[in-house]
Every structure is written in structure tokens, then in C-alpha cells.
Amino acid sequence: MTQVLDDRHINLLQILAKVTIDSYPLDLNLSTEEWNAIFTLSRSHNILPLVFEMVSGNSSFISSPDYQSLMLETMTIVASQARRTDAFLNLYEHFIAENLHPIVMKGIICRQLYGEYCDHRPSGDEDILIQKSEYEMIANILTSNGYVSSIKDVTETQLNELQEITFHNDQTGLTIEVHVNPMGHDNDLRSKMNDYFVNVFRDSVIVNIEGIPIMTMNITDHFLYLVFHTFKHFTAGGFGVRQVLDIMLYEQKHYSNIEWNYVWKSLKEIHADRFFGDLVYIGNKYLGFNLPLICEMKYPDELLKDIMNCGVFGNETQEQRSAGFMIKGSIGSKSNSFEMLLKTMFPSKRQMINRFPELHEKPWLLPLCWLQRFVRASKYESSSNRSYVAGSLKISKRRIELLKKYDIL
């Protein structure tokens, strides 16, 4: 096992290998502190229920004083996810009744890959991709079913530029992210990635989930979307091990039906081919998969360390979020450290628009949005007693060096 990982990372990866191979030999004899470190890390990656289930029969873990509380935490998360799943399927039936078939991405589609543990892979939201002409009907159905939009009176301009419009239902706890494009337009890379999905409605398929016909992308498009979505996060704040599991499980299930020539060509065009090759290597070496390696590995140990340190989307702390802003703004540019700092302090309207959608109609509010970010950052720095700017620069410098190795910058 590579030395770039510490014990909690190594232990967590061994546990997750049991998700892939039920008979995977798992003989962990750990202290209470070591178990706590594993579950703290699993919370960061939003996989605590999966981890608990894989080790629930381990004698060392059963004797841990936190076993009962972790079991209760797992049961609570799984029950909440089951409620959100039911709420989404009920909502989708309302779409069908109005002859609407939005494309479902990730979420419930990925959860099916985990079989009997589908609700042990939690996701707080469901993503649907819609045709712009159907937005008003989709929004009306969501509103009539108790979902509240993050944006009132969405304009044509916002539909063209926003990556998603969020609707939340307090009663069910479910959030629906309504997309009119899959990747957003925060930078040129994301806009280019959207071009690969212009025909997804024409080429869509129906899958049956608990008796409900759900429209989703075809196997090749959805696989490419999962890789692109993870790559999108890699070129911002980062991503976690759950996304690796999703991609590897999807590839394992659908390998023979994926159009590999098209996938490989597409990955090369956006410089994601080396990245994907290392993901497969990581899946095989650390997570129990046995998938074909379609290219030579490059920097899998460095990528794995980045994955394990990022958490589920690399945005747990203010430092991570700001570093993600720096990196996202650097894609497609040759910025030095000072220029990156300026971009972090004064992000463009293009970068800010998802967080502050009012900028669509009132771009002159951009300085006020910057001020709001400064105030929030100052409060964080005061409460945490550390320099968030220095922390952000340190994270961004480390991650930008990794992106350069993959020819992304």
C-alpha cells in the first residue's frame, strides 16, 4: 500500500473494497480512536452508512463504545434516504401524468448500482435535465407539490446561463436540481463539456425503478456524464471516493454496452483521458475492481491522496471553497499566484452567477456580491482563528500542480 496515505485512508479503502467483493477478507482489529477516525472520514465522503454496513460484523468494531450511536446514525441516514427516494418517485409520477419526462442524472440511477445497499449511498438531491421549453410546466408541478424555488420568476437569460435552479421541500427533505444544461458555463471547459450532451433527449432510455418508468441517458452518455461530472469537480474543489465507487460500479455493470471508442475520444478531447485511466487503476488496486486498464497510469498515488483529502465535493471548509474558486477561474488561463488571488477576491460574473443569480438581470450588483463574500470570509477567519486566505492559497497551489500534471492547466 502506498505511503502517501495515512492509516485512516488505508483502512477506509479496505472497508470499501468489501462493497465490490462481498467475500473480501476484512480483518481489522482497531482501537476506538482508529474507528472514530474512519467514521469521521466516512462522514466527510458521505458514505457512513456503507462503511457501517461493511464492518457491522467486525468484533473489534462491535466492542467499540460508539457502536450503538453509529448504528443509530446509520439507520437515521438510511431511513431519510428511503423517504427522499419515495418522494422523488412520487414526484416523477406527477411529471409522467403531464406527459413530461425529464432526464434523471446520477442520484437514484447511481444508487441502484449498490443493490440491497442502495439507500446506504445517500444523496440529498436529485438532478433532472429538462428541455428549456418545459421549465414552466416542471416548475409548476414542483411548486404544487410543496417545493420552493431558490429563484423567483426565472427569466429567459437565467435559463440560458444557470447550471441549475434548485427546488426544496422541507417536509420530505428532498432537493431537486433542475438543469437546462448538464455542466454549467462557469468556464470554457464546462461549456465545452455541455456539447457532448446535445442529443441526450433524442438518445434517452427508460429504466424501471420500483415500478416507475424513469427517463435517463443511454448507457454510454450516462457513463461519460459521470466521468465528466467528476472531472468538473476535479478542476474546481475536488471530489471524493464515493464518486470513484459510482463510476467503477457503473463501468463494471455496463462495460460491454459502453461505446468505448466514443468515450475515449471524448475524454482525450477535454484532456481527461489520463485522469480517467488513473481512476480505473485506483479502483482496481484499492477498491477491489478488476476492470481493463485502457491507458498507462500516470499519477494515481497523487490523485488518490487528493481524493481522500477532498471529501465528497472538496467544499467542506471556507479554504476549500475559495481554493475551488481559484482553480475554476484558472482553467483556460495562464494565471500566476497573484492573479489567482485577485480572481479569488474578485470572481467574474460568470463564476458568481450560480451563487448570486440576480446578477443575470443586475450585473451592476457584482461589487456588492464581492462585499458579501468578504464579510462572510472575515467572520469565518475571526471564528476559526486562522488565515483562510493563506489556507486557500496553500490548497490551490497543491491542487493546481496536480492539474498541470494532467495537462489541464
**Side-chain-facing half-sphere of 125: CA atoms under 13 Å:** 14
> Is 287 exposed, middle or buried, given 0-12, 13-18 or 19+ CB atoms closer than 10 A?
buried
Q: What does each C-alpha distance from 320 to 279, 354, 381, 394, 405 come to in angstroms?
A: 22, 18, 13, 10, 20
What dotted CATH number matches 86-217? 3.30.460
As beta bridge partners, residue 105 has 127
Give the C-alpha separation, 218 to 226, whole Å. 12
> Is 152 exposed, middle or buried, given 0-12, 13-18 or 19+ CB atoms closer than 10 A?
exposed
Q: What is the pLDDT of residue 371?
A: 73
Q: What does each C-alpha distance from 139 to 84, 108, 236, 360 come to in angstroms?
A: 19, 20, 29, 19
- 229-238 CB burial, b ≥16 within 10 A, e <16: bbbbbbbbbb
Tallying the residues shown for the chain, one arrives at: 409
Q: What is the pLDDT of residue 223?
A: 98
183, 163 in Cβ contact below 8 A?
A: yes
280, 267 in Cβ contact below 8 A?
A: no
User: How many helical (H) and strand (E) elements, i.e. helices and strands, does the chain have?
Assistant: 19, 7
As beta bridge partners, residue 179 has 129, 164
Give kind and range of the element (H or E) at residue 194: helix 188-194
Strand 148-149 vs strand 205-209: parallel, antiparallel, or unpaired? unpaired
Q: What is the pLDDT of residue 1?
A: 41
Give the C-alpha separation, 404 to 121, whole Å. 32
Q: What is the pLDDT of residue 158?
A: 77
**Which string of DSSP letters, residue by residue, matches 124-179?**
SEEEEE--GGGHHHHHHHHHHTT-EESSSS--HHHHHH-SEEEEE-TTT--EEEEE
Task: Return the domain boundaries, the chain.
Answer: 86-217, 318-405
Q: What is the pLDDT of residue 366?
A: 74
Long-range residue pairs from 180-183, CB within 8 A, at least 24 positions apart, any chain: 180/129, 180/130, 180/131, 180/132, 180/135, 181/129, 182/105, 182/129, 182/225, 182/228, 182/229, 183/228, 183/229, 183/232
Q: What is the pLDDT of residue 22?
A: 82
Q: What is the pLDDT of residue 319?
A: 72
Q: What is the pLDDT of residue 2?
A: 44
141, 147 in Cβ contact below 8 A?
A: no
DSSP state, 406?
Answer: T
Q: What is the pTM of this model?
A: 0.86
Give the C-alpha separation, 43 to 66, whole Å. 15
Sign, CA dihedral 79-44-126-246, equals: negative
209, 112 in Cβ contact below 8 A?
A: yes
Strand 175-179 vs strand 125-129: parallel, antiparallel, or unpaired? parallel
Helix, strand, coil percentages, rounded to 5, for the chain: 60, 5, 30
Give the C-alpha separation, 409 to 394, whole Å. 17
- 164-190 CB burial, b ≥16 within 10 A, e <16: bbbbbbeebebbbbbbbbbbbbbbebb
Q: What is the pLDDT of residue 338?
A: 58
pLDDT one digit per residue (tens) for the chain, 409 residues: 445 689 999 999 999 999 988 878 788 999 999 999 999 999 999 999 999 999 999 999 999 999 999 999 999 999 999 999 999 999 999 999 999 999 999 999 999 999 999 999 999 899 999 999 999 999 999 999 999 998 888 888 778 777 789 999 999 999 999 999 999 888 889 999 999 999 999 999 999 999 999 999 999 999 999 999 999 999 988 999 999 999 999 999 999 999 999 999 999 999 999 999 999 999 999 999 999 987 778 899 999 999 998 887 666 666 776 666 666 666 655 555 556 556 656 666 666 666 676 666 677 777 776 677 666 655 555 555 555 667 777 777 888 889 889 988 7
Q: What is the pLDDT of residue 349?
A: 66
